[in-house]
């Protein structure tokens, strides 16, 4: 009865923060009886294929269809196919051009495979037309919170940041259930001022409205007010099926393979021996996601801040953070903290899920990328919030003001992620010294989060409660579990209706 099985095609966008949760969601669909195809280029597929093979060997119907990244045409070396590989605007431009050129191959594949539904990354508005041609539903995959989508919607609609006397002046975001204040400096450029990027984002938002609905990697218990707001006020049908990463990567092997970029760091590695040697809840994990690049000045402040806090810590730095002066500084810093056994430095890619779930880890310093937030939450960890770019400043407000499980380090400026490492002040109203978060602020935040004070204790308790809710929601009968089953059932009925309609028309 192969033809009766629902066939869903997933089209991920090649950046870890979008691709990782979409692959996990695709695997969840397969685990619940759907025939799943993921379309990806070679180098990107190699980061998740191990998990797909393992699911396939367990009997799930899931496969990857490879397409060719036009490296030569855009002037890139083989294997540079992911946004995270960009170390300059020039390379980013080439990667983006290569990604845009994939459209034709994807359209041919969609036509050949004739799926029953397309789950598309939010950044591919053209998949609305692809789905329309095939007369099938298109689901918009949003890779952040309901909160950020609602906040961004009302900021765009009412522009409460226009006409303030300074870019540092606070404004309140209208129509939200909580009082949420931000400054214009914390908004992304494309929304703060009207730039050409508004056009690309406009097409994306328009494609959400023209989709069958939106899929969120979130869960009801976490942001139900905003889930309701997005469904009612914004009028967009949606399903929250998260946290997907914890749901599908539920043992050590799966956690280690998840988003695997390089070699596996296993449980018997130096890193985990170091973690095992630390008391429970004593280590703070510091990671700014897959894209952010820190300036040398910021690395210095961060390093001294962590060292002066007296806490044990794991710091993830990128190879590209080490330019120039940074190289010697980081080398000396790593040597010092290795000797004192206070710190552990990871270059490039950390096995984040395994670190967060380790009993010695007691908190995280995060750039407020949505996946890192959900993963920390699932592990019951409170957070130091240090947003850098895009919608991360909204996510910070969710953690600090609404959920009260975050301490803000006081990040002031939203910069394009590739320019975060640049020393020059990005905006008129702010000088470089204000862009860099100072060591004293880092020490203060770590002391609140990891210390024995009331504020830290209360945050840890709330984070623990949310972690329990995150675990319950993906169990049989939980909200996310039910939402996933309901969505799959709905897609099956649409398929049957379509087939009946076809038979009727053929006769
Ligand atoms: N990640 C990881 N190891 C790293 C850096 C990131 O496993 O060293 C994963 C992290 O667990 C998360 C994703 O990459 O799933 C990053 O997504 P997020 O939304 O947190 O941030 P972004 O990279 O999009 O800024």
Per residue in 372-384, pLDDT (tens digit) is 999 999 999 999 9
Q: What is the pLDDT of residue 1?
A: 42
Contact predicate 287/352, CB 8 Å: yes
Q: The tokens of 307 are what?
A: 């060292």
Instruction: List the catalytic residues.
Output: 18, 121
Q: What is the pLDDT of residue 2?
A: 44
Could you tell which of 371, 378, 396, 418 is best to mutate to test the pocket of ligand 1, judged by most ligand atoms within 8 Å of the CB?
371
Domains of the chain by residue range? 7-168+193-246+472-506, 262-417+430-471
This model's pTM is above 0.90? yes
Nearest ligand 1 atom to alpha carbon 356: 11
Nearest 5°: CA angle at 237, between 232 and 242? 110
Q: What is the pLDDT of residue 221?
A: 97
**What spacing in Å lies between the alpha carbon of 255 and ligand 1's midpoint?**
13
Q: What is the pLDDT of residue 324?
A: 57
Flag residues of the chain having pLDDT under 50: 1-2, 423, 425
Contact predicate 425/440, CB 8 Å: no
Q: What percent of the chain has pLDDT over 90?
A: 81
Q: What is the pLDDT of residue 207?
A: 94
Query: Ligand 1 pocket by C-beta < 6 Å: which residues?
Result: 16-17, 20, 259, 287, 289-291, 316, 349-350, 352, 369-372, 375
Same fold, 7-168+193-246+472-506 and 262-417+430-471: yes
Topology at the third CATH level for domain 7-168+193-246+472-506? Rossmann fold (3.40.50)
Q: The tokens of 68 are what?
A: 């060719």
Q: What is the pLDDT of residue 257?
A: 76
Contact predicate 55/62, CB 8 Å: yes
Q: What is the pLDDT of residue 392?
A: 98
CA-nearest residue for atom 13, ligand 1, is 17
Matching residue, tokens 């990857």: 64
CATH superfamily to which 262-417+430-471 belongs:
Glycogen Phosphorylase B; (3.40.50.2000)
Residue 36's closest CA among 47, 48, 52?
Answer: 52
């Amino acid at each position: 009865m192969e033809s009766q099985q629902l066939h869903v095609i997933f089209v991920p966008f090649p950046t870890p923060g979008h691709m990782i949760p979409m692959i996990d969601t695709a695997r969840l669909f397969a685990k619940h009886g759907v025939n799943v195809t993921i379309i990806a280029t070679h180098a990107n597929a190699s980061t998740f294929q191990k998990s797909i093979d393992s699911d396939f060997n367990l009997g799930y119907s899931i496969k990857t269809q490879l397409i060719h990244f036009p490296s030569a045409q855009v002037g890139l070396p083989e294997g540079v196919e992911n946004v995270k590989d960009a170390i300059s605007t020039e390379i980013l431009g080439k990667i983006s051009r290569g990604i845009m050129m994939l459209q034709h191959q994807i359209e041919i594949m969609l036509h050949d495979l004739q799926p029953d539904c397309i789950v598309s990354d939010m950044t591919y508005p053209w998949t609305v037309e692809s789905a329309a041609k095939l007369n099938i539903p298109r689901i918009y995959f949003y890779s952040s919170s309901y909160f950020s989508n609602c906040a961004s919607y009302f900021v765009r609609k009412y522009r409460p940041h226009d006409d303030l006397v300074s870019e540092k002046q606070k404004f309140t975001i209208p129509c939200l259930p909580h009082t949420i204040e931000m400054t214009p400096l914390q908004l992304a450029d494309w929304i703060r001022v009207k730039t050409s990027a508004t056009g690309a984002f406009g097409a994306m938002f328009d494609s959400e409205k023209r989709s069958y609905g939106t899929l969120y990697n979130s869960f009801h218990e976490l942001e139900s007010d905003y889930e309701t707001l997005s469904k009612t006020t914004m009028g967009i049908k949606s399903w929250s099926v998260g946290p997907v990463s914890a749901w599908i990567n539920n043992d050590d092997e799966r956690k280690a393979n998840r988003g695997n970029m390089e070699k596996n760091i296993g449980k018997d590695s130096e890193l985990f021996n170091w973690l095992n040697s630390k008391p429970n809840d004593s280590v703070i994990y510091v990671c700014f996601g897959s894209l952010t690049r820190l300036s040398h000045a910021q690395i210095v402040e961060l390093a001294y801040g962590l060292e002066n806090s007296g806490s044990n810590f794991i710091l993830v730095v990128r190879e590209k953070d080490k330019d120039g002066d940074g190289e010697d500084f980081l080398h000396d810093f790593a040597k010092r903290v290795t000797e004192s056994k206070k710190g552990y430095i990871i270059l490039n890619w950390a096995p984040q899920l395994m670190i967060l779930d380790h009993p010695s880890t007691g908190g995280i310093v995060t750039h407020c990328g949505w996946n890192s937030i959900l993963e920390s939450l699932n592990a019951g960890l409170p957070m130091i919030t240090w947003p850098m770019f895009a919608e991360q400043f909204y996510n910070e407000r969710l953690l600090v003001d609404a959920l009260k499980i975050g301490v803000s380090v006081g990040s002031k400026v939203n910069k394009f992620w590739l320019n975060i490492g640049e020393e020059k002040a990005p905006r008129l109203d702010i000088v470089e010294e204000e862009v860099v978060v100072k060591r004293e602020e880092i020490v203060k935040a770590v002391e609140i989060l990891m210390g024995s004070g009331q504020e830290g204790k209360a945050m840890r308790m709330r984070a623990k409660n949310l972690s329990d809710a995150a675990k319950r929601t993906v169990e049989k009968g939980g909200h996310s579990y039910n939402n996933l089953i309901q969505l799959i059932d709905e897609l099956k009925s649409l398929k049957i209706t379509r087939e009946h309609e076809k038979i009727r028309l053929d006769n």
